[in-house]
Structure 1
Amino acid sequence: MSDFSQVDVAFSPGNLLVLNAILAGMIFGVSLKLTGADFVRVIRQPRAPAAGLLAQFVLLPAITCLGTALAGVEPQLALGMILVASCPGGSFSNVMTWLGKASVPVSVSMTAVSSLAAIVMTPFNFTLYGYLNPLTRPLLREISLDPVSLLALVGLVLVLPLLLGMAIGKRHPELAEKADKPMRVITLLVFLLFVVIAFANNVDSFVQYAGQILILVMIHNVVALSIGNVSGRLLRLPIAERRAVTMEVGIQNTALGLSIIFTFFPEAGGMMLIAGFWSFWHLIAGLTLALIWSRQTLPDATRQVNSHGH
């Protein structure tokens, strides 16, 4: 059993506020070009978003819980993996979807709906599967997590900036057009810098557990991407839509995961290492996959689906 007590997870209220502001900024940037049509599209063309949301909020957390229990993954690491699996899709997935010649409308619609759904589904899945896994159950009981506080945090850093971004984007479309990409890139870089600083405070632990945790994160990320891909294949989605679903499920909102860890699990160093490694790895895996896809020729009809995005 590894001892993660040496990992410094405890953040001051000021640092926690900065992390939540970064997370809100990431969501705000994504939502600047969201419109009501993105939500209507889910109702009119529900197959792809439904496949993605099923993979995101049902299959991934359930398979993560089962896999960590069967493999005997250490409680803090397993709980960190369950938390990451319970988070919605990451805000950078739309850019990677575009780079990979996938369906941007499907990606944007899924990001919008999953961010709203996360206010209920993230606390629900995390609590449910944390208790269902016999290895992580004692850890959750120790912490006595307040679901209402968790729900409030998710609402504050996801839903509020999403609605605010949409409102500003609708009122000032030219500003939204100019600010969209810079906001995404800047908030992502600031978030990665934040993670780097957290790791810098734990260099010894980082080196000690790097191999073990990186392997877990890589396997977990491959599982997430595969679940998205298989879900799309089962519903016989066009290739561009299947790629979008794959990317949405494989790129998780680890910023939300870290915010939850720093707020509710200040002693759980293993959880922080899992979410921290995820923050880097899913970007590497996502960009690699997008570059591979971008070199492949798509049928004209599929390419057309991609071009109608934001």
Structure 2
Amino acid sequence: MKLIVKLALACAVSATALSAGAAMAADKFVVGYANMADTDVFVMARKTAFIAAAKADPDVDIKFTDANNDASKQLDQIDNLIAQKVNAIVVVPVDYQGIVPGVEKANEAGIPVIALGIQSAGGKYTFVGSKEEDAGRLQGEYMKAHLPKDAKILYLQGTLGLSNTQGRLKGFQDALGRPDVTTLASLTGNYDRAEGMKVTEDWIQSFPQFDAIVAANDQMALGALQALQGADRLKGVMISGVDGVPDSLNAIKAGDMTQTIFQNAAGQAKAAFDVVEGLKKGEPAPAEKLVPFESITKDNVAQYMKK
């Protein structure tokens, strides 16, 4: 009889503990973080910064997914997060147009959406990030001021069709504003270092002289740098990229790269988490929270290397 009573008491204690654990889980504010690609250097830096920001609030639980640059996979992952009834979704869209069904489904489920870094072509969401045209504008302004007369340039585009690719190119073209400057070629390197290197190797064979390579991100710029160094063609060629990753900062310090546009991964992550905290408190979500781009050259690279 005593054994039966002890077992009953033990079961009661276990049931109470399970109930408490369930209640504790229920008390959490659960955020789904649908990442574009964990293989992307800048995207991962931003994700890491978001994790760091989230540590300040133990009542927030984050569920991570990685689409690996597959728009369809990302939509499936968002469907799964919606089915789990998360309290909010942070998404780094693979595609500006392709993410719309996911945003709209979250809207229908009453789940707030934060589009981080890249906007959505439709649906209701808060955009947290930087205006892509501003990155191109800063590159264009620098080249306008520093290119020699009758300069010849090459432009490495990001993945075709993406909004950030289009915005950065437009911002660059609008700001350059010099009819004497000739763009010899403009091809995609798909935001990839190896592809940027391959395109540049082909350009080296095709064009005996050019004054600058402007790239829509640092990975392509660094690939271009490798190609130019390998062919002993770096002298007299300016290289500009976007993101402000450590390899680019080191290249600028060494005098091998000319410029990068700092996209503040930590600033964007912190701003996104601030929106999450507001939602948790029941505050209305803002339409956007912008984090400005900043131009980095040899004159100010030291201050960014300390960050």
TM-score of the two chains, using structure 2 as the length reference:
0.29
Larger-Rg structure: 2
Higher normalized strand content (fraction of residues): 2
TM-score of the two chains, using structure 1 as the length reference:
0.29
Larger relative CO (CA 8 A, sep 6+): 1 or 2? 1
Higher normalized helix content (fraction of residues): 1
